Every structure is written in C-alpha cells, then in structure tokens.
Chains A and B, each alone.
Chain A
Amino acid sequence: MNWFSLITATSFMPVPATKESGDVDNLYIFLLVSGLISFIILIGGMVIFIFKYRRKTEDQKSAYITHNTLAEFLWSFIPFVIMMIIFAWGWSVFHDLRRVGEKGDVEVHVTARQWAWTFKYANDIEINSPSDKKLLDDPDSTLLKPEIVVVPVGKTIRFILTSDDVLHSFYVPAFRNKMDAVPGRRTTFTFTPIEKGDFTVFCTEYCGTKHSNMMATIRVVDGEQFAAWQAEKIAANAGANNKGPAERGEALFKGSLGCSGCHSIDGSRIVGPSFKGLYGNKRDFADGSSVTADDAYIKQSILVPTAKIVAGFPPAMSSFQGRIKEDEIKDIIEFIKTLK
C-alpha cells in the first residue's frame, strides 16, 4: 500500500468501474475538502485559543462575553447552506444509483442465501458463488474462491435481488453501490460498467457464521467475449443434462442448492454434518434416538430439516421445500451414495 497516495482524495477507493461511481467520487472529494476546512477552522481555532489564552498567573481574569448575535447567525447559517448542498448533491447521485424500474440490457436474477449467491441469466445460465475451493492456500483462511459472473462493458446491467432466508446485502465497492437482498421482496441493483476487469462482491448485511465469506467476482468484458462466454455456458449446460444421476446430484450439491456451503464431503465439519460415509450408516440425534441413513431419512432432512437434529449440531438448516424437485432429491441421494 502506498501511503503517499493520500494526496489524491479518493486514492483508497477501488478504481471507479461504473458510470455512476465517478459521480460518487466527485461528491466524496467535495465532502473531504469541505470537511477538512471545517475541521481546520474548528480544531485550529481551539488549539490557537488553548495556547493564546493559557492561564499564566493564578488570578488571571477572563473576558465577559455572553453571546454575539452576528457570529451565531453566521455559524448556524453557513453550515446549513453547505449541508443543503451536500444533501442535494447526494440526492442527485443517489437517483443515478437507484434507477428503479429501469430495464437492463442484461438482466440477472440474484438470489442470496446463507452463505452464497446464485446468479441466473435470462437464458438459464446459472452461476453459484463462492465455489467450494479455498481462495488462498493459507490453512487458516476461511474464505472460498468467488465464482466469476460475466457482464458486458458499456451496457446497462440490472440485477434483481431477493433472498431465500435472511437479509443479505449486495455490495460492489468498485461500483460504489449496494442494495439489500430481502426475503419476500425484490430489489434492484442497476449499473453501467465502463471499466473492464474483475470486481469483488461482498455481503454487507450480517447474516450469520459465514457472512464474511459471501463473495463473488463480477468480470466486465467486451461484447464479443460476453457472447462467447454465454455460448460456452449454454453448451456446458446441454452437456450436463446427459450426465448420470450422481453427477447431476453433485452439480446441485455444489451449485444452485448450495449444500456445500454447510456440508463437506471429506469428513470435515463446516456448519452441518459431513456427508462422507453418511448413506447406510447410523446417525445419532440430539433427542437420543438414532436411525440408519436411507433414502427416506435424507429426503426428510431436505424437506423438514428440523424433524431430526443430528447430535452436536445446531438446527440451522432451513427447508428446501418448494425449491427442489422430486428428481433432484433422487439425484442428490445418488450422489451421497458415492461418498464412501
């Protein structure tokens, strides 16, 4: 990090990557400069008075000044005017960031859930982020590698956000924009990228254990590359449909259903129990009962997770009722059977 870059006001902000973010930065520079001037007047004045009017002898007298109407009027009115400028400027920038109701050239439905994002394009391309791979090779890191969501440069992109469970918030620092994903509601996040490159998405509304892990990468590319990417994804989707049930189950597990966020397949503990060696083996429950994991048990756990709570784990899973189809459950069971 370069400390000297303090000289330019917005140097700690990520590069502004959208049309709107440049306007936010201009407002920021105004705020910083006007704030700095106010600070210097106030604190500078205070420091000067401390030194100038320091008590030097014990009987030193002070002046008797109770008020001064002109001064008081000025220091109320001038801040008021400045704040009104900041208000109005903020409003105009805000209006550009919001653009409610405006259709995008590219529209993507984004669903948040503990602790992942699903991006679904109009032509059924689906990206789930983060992946199940570690972001860093540091053994202590808990961050997972974000998946890449591709959008074209220069076009209006609209993300339509919602959440399956709790509040999340979709934040892209380089776009200077964020919007909550609210269960039961749709909100929009509209932007026009002007810079190509990779930009990180964070979740900024606290949502539990792996809140800090809900990342994604938005990759801005030019039009042809975007078209090529889409074609490639569509082809891959077609290929996936020819796969066997266990492979389809694996894709669901790691992908759109996001099971891998809480359950490992290698025996390690994440939030919920691992699926390694689950099928056909005994499970002990918090209430003391136990059962051999079979199709019926796994299906019940997906649809009514609170029916049987595995001993030593919190009842943290929410129901997939309505979000999962009958064949998908079968595919997942097939996949779990392979995890010996």
Chain B
Amino acid sequence: MAHEQHNYLNHQKGIWSWLTTLDHKRIGIMYFVAIMSFFFLGGVFALLVRAELFTPGKTLFSADVYNRMMTYHGAIMVFMVIVPGIPAIFGNFVLPIMIGAKDVAFPRLNLMSWYMLMIGAAITGSTLFLENVDTGWTFYTPYSSIKTGLGVIPMVLGVFIIGFSSILTGLNFIVTTHKLRAPGMTMNRIPLMVWALYSTAILQVLATPVLAITLLLLIAEKTLGVGIFDPQLGGDPVLFQHFFWFYSHPAVYIMILPAMGVISELVATYSRKVIFGYTAIAYSSLAIAGVSFLVWGHHMFVSGQSEFAGVLFSFITMLVGVPTAIKLFNWIATMYKGSIRLDAPMLFAIGFMFLFTIGGLTGVYLASTGMDVHFHDTYFVVAHFHYVMVGGTLMALMGALIYWFPKVTGKIYSDLAGRISWVFIFTGFNVTFFPQFILGNMGMPRRYYDYLPTFTELNQMSTFGSWLIGTGFLVGLYGVFYALLKGKEAGNNPFGGKTLEWTTTSPPPHENFEKTPVLTGGPYEYR
C-alpha cells in the first residue's frame, strides 16, 4: 500500500494500549484470544475423555480422574466458550459497526466484562491445581454440597463471576441497539445478526442472575451448613435442579441464538439474495427468548416431579420447536433462486443447518415425555445437545471467523484452509456423535467411566471421530496464523456483503466510519 492506512489496529501501540482499550473492536479481539485458549483447554479435556472411553474398563485414567476431566470439559466449554463465544467475540466486533455506531454504549463496562471473564476463569481454573471438582457441569446437589470436596466452592464462585461478565455484555448490547443506531436505521432495518444478539442479551440479563443466586446458595450450604438443598439439613435436593435449569434452559438459547444470527448473514451474503422472511426470523428470536423461560422442567421428567408438571413442560417445550423450525425454513427459502457460492463460510452455514436439523429434531423426541423417560441421561441426550450446541455454535463460529476475518484484520483467510478444516470438522463431528444416538437407544447412561462390552464398537467410532474434529480445528487455527502472516489484502468488501460493516474500510478506523452512515433501506437489498 502506498501510504499507511489509519485504522483501529495502529491507532495506538503497545500491549498496555490493548489492556486498557475502550474500543469494542479491540475488546472483541481480546475475547477471541481468551476464549480460543479456553476452547483449546476444553478440547484437550474432550480428547482425553474420549480416549478413556476407547475401551471398556480402565484405559488411561482412574474413575476419579475421568470424572474430573468430564467436569472440566463440560464447565469450560459451556461457561467459558459457548456461552460467551459468539456474542463476546463477534458481537463485540460487528454489532456497533452493523448499526452504524462509533462504539458500544458503555465502553468502560465492556472492558470490565472482559476482566470479569478473566478473573472468573482464573478462579475456576485454579481449582485444577488446588482441588479438582468432579460434580459434572450441572453441580447437582446433594452430591456437590455434601459428598464431594471443597473445590466446588471456588469453581462455582468463578462461574458466578463469569455470569456477571455475561450480564454486563448483555446490558451493553441492549442499550447500544436501542440508543446508537445510525440515522434511518429503524428496528426493522437492523441486520438479523443484531436481532439475534439483542434477543440473546435479554436472556443474559434476565436469566443469568438466577444462576448467580443458585450458586451463592450452594456455597452457603457448603460453607455454613444452611439447609437449602441437602435433605439431611431439611433442604430439598430437587430445588437445585429447578433453579439450575431455570437459568440453563434459557442458556442453551444464549448459546444458539447468536449462531443463528451468523447463519442469517452468511446465507444472505453467499446466496447474494434478500433474506426470506426477515420479520419472521427477527421476531422468532424474541419468541424463542420468551418461551424458553417456561420450559425448564423438561430436564426433570424423571426427577419425581408430578406427572402434570411433566406434561405441562412438555407442551410448552413443543411450542419452542415451532419458531426454531421457522428459522430453518426461512434460510432454505433464502437459497431458493439465489446465486449461491460455496465458499468456506457458506460450507459452515450448510454444516450448521445439517447438524442443527438433526439436533432440533431429536429435541422433539426428548420433549415428548413418554419417549424422554427412556432417553433421559443417556448418550442420546449427549448426542442431541452436541448436535445443537457444538454442531450449531461451533460451526457458526468457524463460519463467522472466516467471514469477518478480512474486516477484522484486513487480510483474507485462505478459503482452502477453511474448506479442509470444514471437511474434518463436519465428518469428524458426525462420526463422533451419531453413534451416541445409537448408544442411547441401547441404554448406555451418560457420565459413565466404564461400560459393558456391548457398547465397545460404537464408543470406539466416537473416539476416532473426536480425533478428526481435533485435526479440523488445528487446521482452522493454522489458517488464522497463515492469513495473518501471508494473507492477501482484503479490500473493503471482498464477499459482496450488504450490511454496514462492509461499507467501511478493512480494518475499520478507530471510530468505525469516517462519516456517519445514513440508511435508506433494509439490510439485504440484493436486487
């Protein structure tokens, strides 16, 4: 380039300028680095867990070590990777640009959320060295409160703090979306990614405090012996499950709604077509967010709750299935008569739809009370939620990474590396998790260290698949370094996107736009 372009990356220099930055774009990158490190750790635990299950009996570790690895894998992946993942990384980076704002509404709060995540993660992570936790990521009482070590306390304290990070980010996004839209950008013209982040933010703000209180009660019981959950102290062990799922069911939508936002962007751009049913997609996000507060009891069909409660929760759960189905139909209808290019991000979007359809359909099985009694807490459930959460969120995350990489760095991510990574992740994923549906049919319970010899072949397939997934992500990571060092210059709009972030330079200037944009139409006007 002839003269050094002025952008947010060279706006200030030095590590300190990063650690104290108030620029949402830089904070997004800091989240990326942090969350990817957590993801690496969670991934290593996943590979170890699967390796242990390669043969029945003891393969590598004792039962206690296995239970701990299973716990850390789940807790890290859920609380430190998939929940913050897309909103914290890409939400931070693109949300303000997509609505034509200079930054988020509360830049200092934004930086503080990042530090909260770091502090929470450090406390949770410290238990790895102090006293390992073996409760599983759900921390069910009374096992967590009376039967296992004190490591549970710092562990949930860390999760509690991470929860606050999530609340603050949500708050920030809600206010930003309401207050900082560019002139002409009505609520019905904001990109679907923003709608998704906005619905997620509502969930984060409303649901996370319940988790926070629950974890505090657990700590109170464990340290002070207050009888809340432990029946020996006069508490109710099932109460914990009610509290926990009151947060954690909405949380599964905190994990997936942002991914759905990404998919809407990718499908529109790579089909070069106006999105089908903009309003339906936008408002179905809100519908999902609303209804998902009323379905927590579907995790407790066999907990001893009344038959009536079970049936009621089953009914409401079915209602969530409808807006979910609507989204899938809309994306596919968007492709109809489109001008489709199968670049790597689009492959990830297609992978998302494939895996998410399987995950969503099996969700309906589980929502049906009579069927769930057989499948609850078996590998069928493990397969279901990995299909929706991992197949959904991680596919979207990879797609988002490659799609917005040029905007973030000014360099193009190698499409070839993206495709190779996709082939490994997509096939590996199915090889890993499809057999688990069958294991669930056969009756293999989840969180098992050892199993009957009849389950061996399917477990071996599953372990083999996990290596493919691991390889796929390593290729993806290699792609990041390769693009940073050797990537081609991107230009402002390499993929022909229509949303606002593609109208500014790559990388964008410190305050996103040289001139505040003014909108005259909707976000996906491919004519």
Contact = CB atoms under 8 A, between A and B. Distances in A.
Interface stretch (A180-188, A279-287, A331-339): A180-188
A87 to B, nearest CB: 5
A87 B271 CA distance: 36
Contacts of B442: 12-14, 173
Contact of A314 (B149, B279, B307, B310): B149
Interface string A100-143: 10000000000000100000000000000000000010101111
B450 A142 contact: yes
B341 interface: yes
Interface stretch (B13-21, B33-41, B88-96, B371-379): B371-379
B63 A142 contact: yes
A316 interface: yes
Contacts, number: 294
B311 interface: yes
B104 interface: no
B279 A67 contact: yes
Contact of A180 (B56, B303, B357, B451): B303
Interface in B448-496: 448-454, 457
A171 B448 CA distance: 14
A100 B307 contact: yes
B175 interface: no
Interface string B275-319: 011111000000000000000000001111001001100110010
A7 interface: no
Nearest to B306: A100
Interface in A261-313: none
A43 B357 contact: yes
Contacts of B274: 62, 64-66
Question: How many residues of A sit at the interface, in one of the four size bands?
Answer: 35 or more
A312 B332 CA distance: 60
Nearest to B337: A63
Contacts of A49: 332, 335-336, 338, 340
A72 B334 CA distance: 13
A87 B310 CA distance: 11
Interface stretch (B135-143, B159-167, B244-252, B402-410): B135-143
Contact of B373 (A35, A65, A94): A94
Contact of A46 (B335, B451, B454, B457): B335
A27 B371 contact: yes
Given A38-B361, A72-B280, A178-B374, A208 B148 contact: yes
Given A166-B147, A169-B377, A180-B302, A212 B140 contact: no
Interface string A65-99: 11110011001100110011011011111111110
B108 interface: no
Quick one: which of B59, B140, B143 has the most chain A CB within 10 A?
B143
Given A42-B328, A141-B56, A179 B304 contact: yes
A184 B337 contact: no
B328 A53 contact: no
B518 interface: no
A266 B302 CA distance: 39
B104 to A, nearest CB: 30
B364 A35 contact: yes
A42 B357 contact: yes
A90 B451 contact: no
B143 A206 contact: yes
B125 interface: no
Given A24-B374, A62-B338, A83 B369 contact: no
Contacts of A63: 273, 336-338
A177 B337 contact: no
A325 interface: no
B271 A182 contact: no
B333 interface: yes
B515 interface: no
A31 interface: yes
Nearest to B458: A1
Contacts of B332: 42, 45-46, 49
26 contacts: A42-B353, A43-B353, A53-B337, A54-B341, A54-B342, A55-B341, A62-B338, A65-B273, A67-B276, A72-B277, A76-B325, A87-B314, A91-B311, A93-B371, A100-B307, A141-B58, A143-B450, A143-B452, A166-B143, A167-B143, A176-B374, A179-B302, A180-B303, A183-B231, A184-B231, A209-B134
CB-CB nearest 10 A-B residue pairs: A173-B443, A93-B370, A184-B231, A90-B368, A140-B57, A63-B337, A94-B369, A204-B377, A12-B441, A62-B273
